Structure 1
Amino acid sequence: MMFRKNKLALMISAACVATPIAVFADEAPQAEEEFKVERIEVTASRRAKSLSSVPYNISAVDGAALEKAGITDFTKLTRNIPGLVFSDTGPRNNGISGGLIMRGMNAQQGGFEDFYRSSDPAVSTYIGETPLFVNLNMRDINRVEVLRGPQGTLYGSGSLGGTIRYIQNDASLDGFDAHVSTKLSKSQEAGGMNTDTEFMVNLPLSDSLAVRLVGAYVDNSGFIDADRLETLDANLQPTGETFSKKDINDNEVKYGRFALTWDVSDKVAVDFNYQVQADEVAGRQAVARNVGEYVSAIKQLEPFSADVQVASLDIEVDLGFATMTSSSSAYKNEADSSYDQSYSYAAQGFWAYYEGLPREVVTGIKTYRTDAFIQELRLVSNDIGTFEWVVGLYVNSWHGASSAEDYARGLDAFFAAPNPQAQDLNYTNIQKDSFSDKAIFGELTYHVSDDWQMTFGARFFDQEFESYQRITLPTCGVFCGEGDLGLSEASAKQSFKDQIFKFNTSYAVNSDLMVYATVSEGFRHGGSNGLPIDDPSTPATEGGVFANDATLGAYQPDKATNFETGVKGFTFDEHLEFTASVFYIDWEDNQVLQNSPHGGFPIVFNLGESVTKGFEFESKWRFTQNFSVSLGYAYVSAEVSKDFAGLPNLNGEPTLHIKEGERLPGVPEHTLTGALDYSFVTASDLDISLHLGGFYKGGFATDFEKGSLYYDEVDSQVIFDASATMYVGQWQLSLFVDNLFNSDASTLELGDVYYQNYAGQPDPQQRLVNGDVSYIVRPRTLGFGVKYVF
């Protein structure tokens, strides 16, 4: 505990010490009005407003600030937004199944980071108007908006903890614009260099038509070595030999975007965007602490590749009394990967059946694909009078599919029997899901007076979810399912109709200060689990040996009700902008990924009830024309609010017990962000900009109770980044250091208990201890960048 306090003290001390140094360095303070805090315009409420006039807790970071902080993906973004929590598991795992946490809204245990999920994350993310969670490269970004707390009325399913919006630059009619940049860096422990190259071209084709092209290529060298890799022969059989490989976690990203803007008339505007990204990752960013520093104990390499395509068409029509916007978007997101399952298989009870299998090498092959079409049509009133309103229609058609195949190398030779499905294939799982959502939503704002407003919001939705799952266990055959393949399959269908509401009110104490209060609801859609289930009304056991309780065939929507009050505005003659809020959230039927009690099938399951409450503070202080400081802090208490017993077996007996008062997993109590920015002009007229950013995340547990399968404790973490940029005409030259103090603290642990067993029994020989991995961030990285603006 003392260690964690010292980390927090280190970050606060660094900010305090740096402040007077930078202040005294400014030898030529400017007039007061010249260095007020810059006001950022946002569209979170579906109309353009100053950030300070939005009557709830919202953060915004503009493109210039993103560039200065070196932010090109959400991993680093989370270190710059107070209260936005993320456990960085590296390019291979980030973006597969969410993991962003706001206001403590997380009940998911660790150990499911690699899993495809059919339910939504607890924080919704939007790329423009497209609701899609993917680790998309953040290039040519106008701003990022972070809306805290449930946002269900305007943003629909998945906005339990909040919503993040990435607003990209549209093609501009203002004139030709272009830049090209490249960065070269070296990470400690890495065997090679990192490169990051980007270009942007904006080209007006006429007075009413413009196009914009953006591209990026990133190549990061790996820094983790493996020295226990098992050699397989040409027939994929273990040879008994091992080999080593360095830098097993390098990654490559290719990104491109095409944008078109067409001003059809004074009343009609069209924006089109199409973007693609391809990721190639050689391995996971995890180490085995028992083996050594920056060393993995995997037996098989774990490559990962992903491709995402997103297209959107926004049409805006000025109708006079209101602006009508049609937003159409479609995306396809797919990935395939290989996993080393050797340690996790050998830890399970069924492994006693395979005892003696040479080398114990198990390779998992996984794929997933999601695609969707989204249409939103909304009207936003133009007149700012007594009433303002937003009303809209929303339709979403989503499809998902995943597959998993596990190969126990040498299995067929071990049993001296041919495999009826494929050589050494031990397990397959195919899952297909479809989801449709139709909704009507709206918000009405009543200006009681010039200083006091009240907003009422609602969303009415009708949803349908269908799921299919097919499992084979060919090694087990008729003993585990139907026929030689050991087949189990099932499908289910579920529909929901519901509504959520919002009330917000704010009062302007003066032109610079606002107080507000909000009651809002957020939700995630329910659905079905396509797993074999038993019909309790019949004497037979439908679904065979892996039949599960009928209640697990579907999962219900979870809903959060948020109570929040806060104050925001400016002080010290607009040199300081701040927001402070307190919140209390009731969360019902928490959705989590789980394994079914029989067969271990991946399912979504509803836990009980939780309460999160806390305090948030964010500030930006511009001391002089040249020096500014930002500081943010969040405190969150997130606990189970009622004893829970669930996840029943076939006899209806609960297999999962959680006590009232247990902390929600993955949620630190304290997070702190800070940044110092100082700029000056040298005697030779060179513009210099200096930046120091810091981030603190408190420790947390990865499961509810000590002794549970996935329980582990993750220590607190402090990370600093620094950069210096010099502007010479159209050139920008920069030096930067990421992870300045070379933090190697774990960002996530997968649980000790799991790997203290062998074949489901305590293992005094500790044969699987090296399977207990720790995810870490990239070590200290020093680099140089060059940018030319045409």
Structure 2
Amino acid sequence: MVLALPAGVQAQATTAAVGAEPVILEEIIVTAQKRMERLIEVPLAITAVTGAEIERRGVASLRELQYAVPGLSLVETAPGQERLQIRGVSATNGLPTVGQYLDEMPTSIDDNTQSVGLRLIDMERVEVLRGPQGTLYGEGSMGGTIRYLTANPDLRDFGGRLEGQLGRVTDGGTAGRVSGVVNLPLVKDRVGLRVVAGYEDTGGWIDSTVTGKKDVNAARIFTIRGKLLAEVTENLQASIMVLHQDQKQDYQNYGTGRQTSAPLAAYNNPNYDLVNAVLRWDLGWGSLLNSFGYQKAENSTMTDLSSVYVPLLPVFGYPAGTITSVGLGSDSSTEIFSNEIRLASAPGIVEWTVGLYGRRLDREGVSRTVTAPGTMAFDLISAVATSKSEAGAVFGELAWNVSDQLTVTGGLRYFYEKRTLTAVSASFGNPAINENSGDFSSVNPRVNVSYKFSPDGLVYASVAKGFRSGGFNSAATGGPADYDPEKLWTYEVGTRHQLLDNRLIVDAAAYYNDWQGVQSSFFPVGAAIGYITNGGKVQGYGIDASLTARPVSGLTVSATYGWNDLSYKTASAEHAVGDPVDYAVQESWSGYIDYRWPLSESLDGFARLDYQHAGRSAIINRGSNVNVRIGARDLLNARIGVDFGNFELSLFADNLTDVSRPVIPGPYGVILQDVEQTPRIIGVNFKTGF
């Protein structure tokens, strides 16, 4: 039974009414191809997770959702500090390999290790597109694209909901979160406002043996989002979405045995402000859309470099014990303006989409080493840098519906970018100056042929190119001044079917990746900062698959599987032939069982088990003698509860078996200890609507 919410809010409720629920699976509508389509008819490798499914899973971020999507995985040292990969396309440095969008705006800040870390509150759905999306999307969409689509205001009815959760972290503190949604129809059927707010405390579980403080890695995250929607006329719609999110975390998730001996607090304190203003105009024969985006991202972090630099200091005349800790403090501020205008035809024999896109990014950063208890006469590392990016693209896709069954689609995107870097940096007190400027461009085609066996089943074959820009190295590293772009070709066949009167949905794809000019990191001996070069070719096959079934009313079962064998076919600065791609999980699978049953006319029960398996991966840098093997992890989550109609109460256990295998085992490089897995959390959750 759903919470008793108004119609617009009810779409986001956690369950469907069991008593009236048909023995079929939910029909999902997506906009992955920039037009509304049934998911079952989209000839792409795509997974769509609805807001209702996010609620049922009880997840708050992409990290908790990752293995529900075949081929997707991420490594996170703290909320928002993450490396994200799809289908094994992963990188240690440079720009992101996965594009991320919030509604109609890109959210990438040109940092492969940092993202907004959006909290999944009141989402309409999350769409994950696997494989290069270089035609209709950009901003790092080489391995794939993730779209976070927020719920629209309901223009008719007032309503809302409240959710709270409290849990105990094994060997740690108290984790909790609270969120609320309020829907306000300001002018009935014309103007509506939806406001979402949330606060989360992750609890923490790592104790400092240096300071004696407990649970030092607790993160506190605050989010507030508003969305105003106006039906200006019958044919013109306008919306504006505003989001603010900030986070405070004294220590990132570094430790060994749930303790840290780090002499410095590796804090991480990002905050974000985003605005997306969208105009949609129905022209009858087509539609016109303009999306304006603005983003301000600021972050302050500390990295502990003690193990790298403290042993070297006696060489510079600082006796052992004079300085026992060396940290690198960094502050950055990034401001981004973007705009896309897109024209799409109405459905017909020939359907097309054309558009223009532009973006300007300005980033300023200051980094400097700090030492304790003694000080030094010079900075071991320092940098004051300003980087800019001015990018533009023109793109188009055309689909020819040759018959009711056969469709041929072709697309092309021309991308151009001018990047500049101005920096004054130093290593061991020796100054160096960067004055770099360069142009990067690419033509990214896509061809897709699909055949529908029926309205509920198809097969497709596609070829698509992905691209990632080059960039510049700090002059203080002594490496080359710049590095070149890289490109990826993906060849894919897939199928999607809805069977047994919509009780079963199967989705599968097989692909081959050919990745050339791979950007590789090289660290000179004794250096904590390295430079990027081009070299090496990565190739390999992969498979994605998922299955969802509803055999009887109230019971849903699902399973996913992802596998890739991507490896280096030629050597690079950091890899030998045969090495896997860094951080890329080669095999993963997941499954869940969700059962909901009536206890009485006004009372329903529910129970759910979620299982996730992350296979082995590795981090290798032959030049720095790094060869870290990351073991497999198996996580089990459980939830059981009662739905009273307008109130829901449940008990949950995340990481039920308390798996403690590290996300990344240390030490290596600047990671002095393990990156730890979140321990078991047992708690209670409630939801209510009005």
Q: Shorter chain as normaliser: what TM range? A: over 0.9
CA contact (8 A) 2:72 2:86 kept: yes
Structure-1 residue corresponding to 2:104: 129
Structure-1 residue corresponding to 2:10: none
In the alignment, the residues of structure 2 paired with residue 508 and residue 76 of structure 1 have an alpha-carbon distance, to the nearest angstrom, of 34
CA contact (8 A) 2:508 2:544 kept: yes
Structure 2 residue identity aligned to 1:497: S
Correspondence 1:181 to 2:149 = no
Q: Secondary structure at the match of 1:120?
A: coil
Q: CA deviation at 1:386?
A: 1.3
Structure-2 residue corresponding to 1:258: 226
In the alignment, the residues of structure 1 paired with residue 161 and residue 273 of structure 2 have an alpha-carbon distance, to the nearest angstrom, of 24
Distance 1:434 1:350, change over 3 A: farther
Counterparts of residues 132-147 of structure 1 (less than 5 Å) = 132=107, 133-147=115-129
Structure-2 residue corresponding to 1:697: 614
State the Cα deviation string for residues 754-784 of structure 1 (Å, max 9, x = none): 59xxxxxxxxxxxxxxx74111221110111
Q: CA deviation at 1:596?
A: 6.2
Correspondent of 2:446 among 495, 502, 505: 502
Structure-2 residue corresponding to 1:401: 364
Structure-1 residue corresponding to 2:194: 212
Structure 1 residue identity aligned to 2:436: A
CA contact (8 A) 1:121 1:158 kept: yes
Q: CA deviation at 1:90?
A: 3.1
State the Cα deviation string for residues 579-635 of structure 1 (Å, max 9, x = none): 111100111112345446897655443232111311111111111111111100011
Q: CA deviation at 1:668?
A: 2.5
CA contact (8 A) 2:78 2:268 kept: no
Structure-2 residue corresponding to 1:767: none
Correspondence 1:680 to 2:643 = no
Counterparts of residues 329-348 of structure 1 (less than 5 Å) = 329-346=293-310
Structure-2 residue corresponding to 1:591: 519
Distance 1:642 1:319, change over 3 A: same
Counterparts of residues 516-595 of structure 1 (less than 5 Å) = 516-531=460-475, 547-548=478-479, 552-595=480-523
In the alignment, the residues of structure 2 paired with residue 156 and residue 125 of structure 1 have an alpha-carbon distance, to the nearest angstrom, of 9
Q: Secondary structure at the match of 1:661?
A: coil
Correspondence 1:783 to 2:683 = yes
Q: CA deviation at 1:335?
A: 0.8
Correspondence 1:452 to 2:369 = no
Correspondence 1:667 to 2:609 = no
Q: Secondary structure at the match of 1:514?
A: strand
Correspondent of 1:276 among 244, 260, 263: 244
In the alignment, the residues of structure 2 paired with residue 784 and residue 440 of structure 1 have an alpha-carbon distance, to the nearest angstrom, of 50
Correspondent of 1:326 among 287, 290, 308: 290
Structure 2 residue identity aligned to 1:128: D
CA contact (8 A) 1:492 1:529 kept: no
CA contact (8 A) 1:171 1:260 kept: yes
Q: Secondary structure at the match of 1:712?
A: strand
Q: CA deviation at 1:359?
A: 5.1
CA contact (8 A) 2:68 2:590 kept: yes
Correspondence 1:371 to 2:335 = yes
Structure-2 residue corresponding to 1:89: 77
Q: Secondary structure at the match of 1:305?
A: coil
In the alignment, the residues of structure 1 paired with residue 232 and residue 574 of structure 2 have an alpha-carbon distance, to the nearest angstrom, of 61
In the alignment, the residues of structure 2 paired with residue 463 and residue 359 of structure 1 have an alpha-carbon distance, to the nearest angstrom, of 44
Gaps of 5+ in 2: 1-17, 108-114
Distance 1:659 1:264, change over 3 A: same
Q: Secondary structure at the match of 2:233?
A: coil
In the alignment, the residues of structure 1 paired with residue 686 and residue 77 of structure 2 have an alpha-carbon distance, to the nearest angstrom, of 29
Structure-2 residue corresponding to 1:709: 625
In the alignment, the residues of structure 2 paired with residue 213 and residue 592 of structure 1 have an alpha-carbon distance, to the nearest angstrom, of 43
State the Cα deviation string for residues 10-29 of structure 1 (Å, max 9, x = none): xxxxxxxxxxxxxxxxxxx9
Correspondent of 1:628 among 537, 540, 556: 556
TM-score normalised per structure 2: 0.92
In the alignment of these two chains, the number of paired residues is 665
CA contact (8 A) 1:495 1:527 kept: no
Counterparts of residues 152-191 of structure 1 (less than 5 Å) = 152-190=134-172
CA contact (8 A) 1:742 1:779 kept: yes
Counterparts of residues 11-410 of structure 1 (less than 5 Å) = 34-91=22-79, 95-96=80-81, 98-108=82-92, 119-132=94-107, 133-190=115-172, 192-207=173-188, 208-227=190-209, 229=210, 243-288=211-256, 293-346=257-310, 354-358=318-322, 360-382=324-346, 384-410=347-373
Correspondence 1:721 to 2:637 = yes
Counterparts of residues 733-752 of structure 1 (less than 5 Å) = 733-752=649-668
Structure 2 residue identity aligned to 1:202: N
CA contact (8 A) 1:429 1:470 kept: yes
Q: Secondary structure at the match of 1:304?
A: coil
Q: CA deviation at 1:137?
A: 1.2
State the Cα deviation string for residues 468-501 of structure 1 (Å, max 9, x = none): 221135xx55xx3xxxxxx221210001232110
Distance 1:528 1:597, change over 3 A: farther
In the alignment, the residues of structure 1 paired with residue 318 and residue 519 of structure 2 have an alpha-carbon distance, to the nearest angstrom, of 34
Q: Give the structure with higher Rg (CA).
A: 1
In the alignment, the residues of structure 2 paired with residue 333 and residue 630 of structure 1 have an alpha-carbon distance, to the nearest angstrom, of 37
Distance 1:598 1:426, change over 3 A: closer
Correspondence 1:515 to 2:459 = yes
Q: Secondary structure at the match of 1:47?
A: coil
Correspondence 1:442 to 2:342 = no
CA contact (8 A) 1:467 1:530 kept: no
Distance 1:339 1:461, change over 3 A: closer
State the Cα deviation string for residues 114-156 of structure 1 (Å, max 9, x = none): xxx6x42111111111211320211110000000000011111
Distance 1:264 1:726, change over 3 A: same
Q: Bigger CA drift: 616-625 or 98-107? A: 98-107
Among the aligned pairs, what percent are the same residue? 27
Structure 2 residue identity aligned to 1:179: R
Structure-2 residue corresponding to 1:774: 674
Correspondence 1:431 to 2:385 = yes
CA contact (8 A) 2:412 2:445 kept: yes
CA RMSD between the two structures: 2.2
Structure 1 residue identity aligned to 2:610: G
Distance 1:691 1:501, change over 3 A: same
Q: CA deviation at 1:302?
A: 2.6
Structure 2 residue identity aligned to 1:193: T
Q: Secondary structure at the match of 2:652?
A: strand
CA contact (8 A) 2:236 2:280 kept: yes
CA contact (8 A) 1:529 1:553 kept: yes
In the alignment, the residues of structure 1 paired with residue 336 and residue 326 of structure 2 have an alpha-carbon distance, to the nearest angstrom, of 34
CA contact (8 A) 1:749 1:773 kept: yes
Structure 2 residue identity aligned to 1:43: T
Higher percent of residues as helix? 1
Q: Secondary structure at the match of 1:79?
A: helix
Q: Bigger CA drift: 73-82 or 148-157? A: 73-82
CA contact (8 A) 2:19 2:598 kept: no
Structure 2 residue identity aligned to 1:695: Q
In the alignment, the residues of structure 2 paired with residue 285 and residue 657 of structure 1 have an alpha-carbon distance, to the nearest angstrom, of 26
CA contact (8 A) 2:308 2:527 kept: no
In the alignment, the residues of structure 2 paired with residue 663 and residue 218 of structure 1 have an alpha-carbon distance, to the nearest angstrom, of 36
Structure 2 residue identity aligned to 1:781: I
State the Cα deviation string for residues 94-127 of structure 1 (Å, max 9, x = none): x24x41111111243xxxxxxxx6x421111111
Q: Secondary structure at the match of 1:577?
A: strand
In the alignment, the residues of structure 1 paired with residue 455 and residue 252 of structure 2 have an alpha-carbon distance, to the nearest angstrom, of 51
